[in-house]
Amino acid sequence: MLLANLDVIEIEKEVNYLPNIKSAKKRVSVIASKSEKNRMTKSRLKTAIKAADVLIAEGDKKAAILAFGSAQKMIDQASAKGLLHRNAAARRKSRLAKAIK
């Protein structure tokens, strides 16, 4: 759920101070919504990687390859958005691919 409709009470919980300038108030709102979106994307990424790991551990190679494909796509997307460093993304994909073999 994106936090587009923040009211002052919710902003007070996340920020130690309340900005007085209109643009600063907007930045607090925008940062909160972007943080929420990043949190959701990271959570989906972790879930996809865990699903691939479970299938690899079970030994179901065909299903693991399909799960690896979706996890690889999510890793690439997270890297493109700046949620993961490109070397970290390459390392995660490499470890998953190596585990499948």
Dig out the tokens for 30 from the structure.
């925008």
Residue given tokens 């979106």 in the structure block: 37
Dig out the tokens for 81 from the structure.
């958005």
Distances (CA, A) of 59 to 45, 48, 99: 22, 17, 10
pLDDT at 4: 52
This prediction has a pTM of 0.70
Tens of pLDDT along the chain (101 residues) come to 445 555 555 555 555 677 888 999 899 999 999 999 999 999 999 999 999 999 999 988 899 999 999 999 999 999 999 999 999 999 999 999 999 88
Domains of the chain, first to last: 8-100 (1.20.58.110)
Residue 93 contacts residue 70 (beta carbons within 8 Å): no
